[in-house]
Structure 1
Amino acid sequence: MDAAVHINLNTNVEISTPFIRDSDVAQLATWPKVVAALADAYAKPITPMMVPPRIMARGDGFWLRSLCAVSPSGDYMGCKLIAASPKIKRASYLISLFDQRTMELAALVDGNRITDLRTAATAVVAVNAVMPNGPLRVGVIGSGSVARSMLTALSAVREVSLARVFSPTPASREKFADSFRTANGLYMEAVDSPQAAIRDVDVVICAARSRDESPVLLGDWLQPGMIVLSIGSTLPEQRELDVVCMARATLIIADMPEEVLHETGDSLVAVAEGVDLASKTVGLDEVVSGKVPARGSAADIVIYKSVGTALQDVVTAEMLLREALASNQYQLIPAGVVTIDR
C-alpha cells in the first residue's frame, strides 16, 4: 500500500443517526424556507466539481440512480439514491448527509417529497431572479402534481393576481382550479386551450407532456416579457417546448446547463434546426448571483429549463436537518457509521 491507513475504533462510543422521516418532512418543509435556502445556495459560488453528473445502474426492469453534491453552505455534502422499478411501479428515495468538516454521517432523510419540493422551489428562485417585484399573472399548462407544487410554491412567496390552467381533460383542469380557489383563495380559471391559459400572463408554468412527445407550448403563442418555466423535458426523447420557443428566448436559464443543452429533447431538436442555444444558455447560479443579468429589457422572453440536480436535493435536505434539530422533529436511529482516521 502506498499510504498507511490507521483505523481508530473505540467500541465504547455509542453512535446514533438522526433520521428525518417522510412525516417529518411533511411538517418541516414550508415553501418560504425551501425557496430561501435554494436562493441562498444559488447566490454562492458553485463549481462543476461540486455537482458531478448523475450515475445509474440498471437491472432487468429496475434501476438505481445516485446524485451527489457538495453544498455551498460549507456545512454538508450528500447523495440522493433512487431505487425504481417501472415494471412493478415502485420507487424509494434516500438522502444521506455528511458533515463537510468531520466526514461524519450527519443524517438520513426520506427523499420521497424532496424532488417535488426542490423542483418547484428552484423554479420560484428563477422567477424571483427575473421578476423580483410586483404581483404575477400565471398561466399553467398541466394539472398534475408537479404543476400543483409549482403554483403552490409560487403563490406561497409571491402575490398571484390571476391564474389560469389548461389540461386536456376538462374534469382535471376544473378540479385543479377549484382546489386553488378553495385552499389558496386564488382567482383561478380553467380554460379550454393552452393559448387561453397563457394569454397576457407574466409566468408560464409548463408541467405537462403530450402522449406522443410533441411540444405542448408553441413559440408563436408567447408574448414579450414572459418567463417560461419548463421542467418536463429532461431526456433526449422528451419534448415540451417547440423550436420557435427556444429560438425566441433571449436567455435560457438552466439548473444544469450542459445537461440541458446536450441531453434534453427540446434543446437537441432546436440545435439540429440551427438555433444557437449555447450562446444564450447560462446557469441559474450566474443569474441569482448577479454575474449575468436576467434581462436586457422588459420585453425579453426568458426560459428556465430544469433537469433537476443533486445540489437542490442536498440543500433542501440540509435545511430540513437544521429545522429538525431545532424542533426535535426526527427519529434517532441507535446505530451509525464509524468514521475512521485515514
Structure 2
Amino acid sequence: MLFLDRPGVERVLSPQAAIEALRQGFAGAVEAPLRHHHPLPASPASPAGGTLLLMPAWPAAPGDSAPLMGVKVVGVFPDNPTRAESVVPGPAETVSGIYYLADARSGAPRAVLDGGALTRIRTAAASALAADYLAPRAPETLLVVGTGALAPWLIRCHRAVRPYARVRLYGRDPAKAQALCDQLAGEVGDLAPAGDLQAAVGAADVISVATTATRPVVLGDWLRPGQHLDLVGAFRPDMRETDDQAMRRARVFIDTDGALKESGEMIEPLASGALSREAIQGNLFGLCRGAVAGRGGDEEITLFKSVGTALEDLAAAAEAYRLATSQE
C-alpha cells in the first residue's frame, strides 16, 4: 500500500494535473454523498471548536480497469494557527487529516494520503477550474485575500489557467502577507502585499477569497464590470465572505448543490431574496460537461462559490496515486 505524506502529495500532484483531474471528474460519473459534517465542542486550546468532516466517494459505474473509491477524514480547527504548540502538540494548519484510497471492485487498500495537502490542492484546483470558464480571458491582476495555508495553492492554481502579470496578497496581518510574499518570491515575479483591501479589489481582475470570516470582507459595491470573484472560505451557515449586493450584481455559479445547504454565502441571500435559486447559473458539472455557458460578455461580473465535494478529493487522490505509482 502506498503512503504519500504532505511532501509526497505536493511533489506528485501539480496544479495542472489536479485541475485536469477535477475537470474529468466533474465531466464523468461519481457518487459523492453530501459530506458528514459534525461540529466539535470548544476547548481551552480551541475556543472556536472544530469540525469533523467525513467525505466518501466512489465511481457510479466502475468500468475502467482499475476503478478507485475513497474517503477523507478531516479535522477543521480555526484556532490552530494561533494556538501555542505547548498547549496541543501537532500541526498548526487549520485543516488536517487523511485520505484512504481503495480498489472499488474489491475494497483492497491502495493508498493513504495526507488529507490536508490533498484538500489544499484540490480546493485551489476547483477554484482555478471554475476560473478557466468564468474569469476574463486576459486578466492582468490576481488578488488573493487571506494568508492561510490555502493561499499559496490558490496563487499557483489560478496562475495555471491564466497568465497574470501581477499577483497581490491581502491579509489582516501585514507581516503574514509579507512573509508569504517572501516565501513565494521565487515562483511569482510581480508579487506584493496589498495595503488597502477596497483599492486592491478595484484594481484586480480576479479576486480569490479564502478566509474564516463570518461577516463579508469583500463588498458587492466594490466590484466593477468584468471581474471574477472566487469565494472559498465560508463552509458553514454562519460564515460569509461577501454580501447580498455581490449576489445581486453577479452571474452566480457554485461547485455543487452542497453550497446551497452548507454555506452562509448562499443560505443567507437565498433567504433574504437577494438571490433566487433560478438565478444561479450552474455548477461545475454543467460547466465541465458543456451544458452551461461560462463567461459571456467582457463587462459581466461572475461569482463562484465552492464548499468542496468528495468528488474532488477522489479525483485528486486517484491522480496522485496514478502519478506516484507510474514514477516507481
TM-score bucket (shorter structure): 0.7 to 0.9
Relative to structure 2, which stretch is displaced further, 266-275 or 102-111? 102-111
User: Match for residue 324 of structure 2?
Assistant: 324
User: Match for residue 72 of structure 2?
Assistant: 80
* Structure 1 position 152, deviation (Å): 2.0
* Structure 1 position 56, deviation (Å): 4.3
User: Match for residue 279 of structure 2?
Assistant: 280
User: Match for residue 224 of structure 1?
Assistant: 225
* Structure 1 position 143, deviation (Å): 2.1
* One-letter code aligned to 2:304: Y
Residue of 198, 202, 205 corresponding to 1:202: 205
User: Match for residue 36 of structure 1?
Assistant: 20
User: Match for residue 33 of structure 2?
Assistant: 52
Q: Give the % identical residues.
A: 28
Q: Using the alignment, how far apart are the partners of 1:227 and 1:155 within structure 2?
A: 14
User: Match for residue 13 of structure 1?
Assistant: none
Q: What is the TM-score with the length of structure 2 in the denominator?
A: 0.83
Total equivalences in the alignment: 304
Residue of 91, 99, 110 corresponding to 1:95: 99
Residue of 167, 170, 173 corresponding to 1:169: 173
Summarize the Cα distance change of 1:139–1:18 in structure 2 as closer, same or farther, 3 Å threshold.
Answer: closer
Summarize the Cα distance change of 1:189–1:216 in structure 2 as closer, same or farther, 3 Å threshold.
Answer: same
Summarize the Cα distance change of 1:238–1:131 in structure 2 as closer, same or farther, 3 Å threshold.
Answer: closer
User: Match for residue 314 of structure 1?
Assistant: 314
Q: Contact 1:138 / 1:198 at 8 angstroms: preserved in 2?
A: no
User: Match for residue 157 of structure 2?
Assistant: 153
Q: Identify unmatched segments of 5+ residues in structure 2.
A: 43-49, 80-86
User: Match for residue 260 of structure 2?
Assistant: 261
- Render the CA deviation track for 1:34-55: whole Å, top value 9, x for unaligned: 1121122223345xxx110112
* One-letter code aligned to 2:253: I
The alignment yields a C-alpha RMSD, in angstroms, of: 2.6
* Structure 1 position 221, deviation (Å): 0.6
- Render the CA deviation track for 1:208-256: whole Å, top value 9, x for unaligned: 244xx22101000111121111011110111111110111112x22122
Q: Contact 1:31 / 1:157 at 8 angstroms: preserved in 2?
A: no
Q: What is the TM-score with the length of structure 1 in the denominator?
A: 0.80
Q: Contact 1:256 / 1:283 at 8 angstroms: preserved in 2?
A: yes
* One-letter code aligned to 1:241: T
Q: Using the alignment, how far apart are the partners of 1:307 and 1:109 within structure 2?
A: 21
Q: Identify unmatched segments of 5+ residues in structure 1.
A: 1-16, 329-342
Relative to structure 2, which stretch is displaced further, 64-73 or 32-41? 64-73
User: Match for residue 294 of structure 2?
Assistant: 294
Residue 271 of structure 1 pairs with residue 252 of structure 2: no
SS of 1:113's equivalent?
Answer: helix
Q: Contact 1:203 / 1:227 at 8 angstroms: preserved in 2?
A: yes
- Render the CA deviation track for 1:303-329: whole Å, top value 9, x for unaligned: 11111111111111100111111112x
Residue 22 of structure 1 pairs with residue 6 of structure 2: yes
- Render the CA deviation track for 1:252-273: whole Å, top value 9, x for unaligned: 221222x212321122221232
User: Match for residue 107 of structure 1?
Assistant: 111
Q: Using the alignment, how far apart are the partners of 2:275 and 2:292 within structure 1?
A: 18
* One-letter code aligned to 1:70: W
Q: Using the alignment, how far apart are the partners of 1:229 and 1:158 within structure 2?
A: 14
Q: Using the alignment, how far apart are the partners of 1:151 and 1:105 within structure 2?
A: 33
* Structure 1 position 113, deviation (Å): 0.7
* One-letter code aligned to 1:126: A
SS of 1:183's equivalent?
Answer: coil
- Render the CA deviation track for 1:102-160: whole Å, top value 9, x for unaligned: 44333222323111011111111111122484354212222222222201222245311
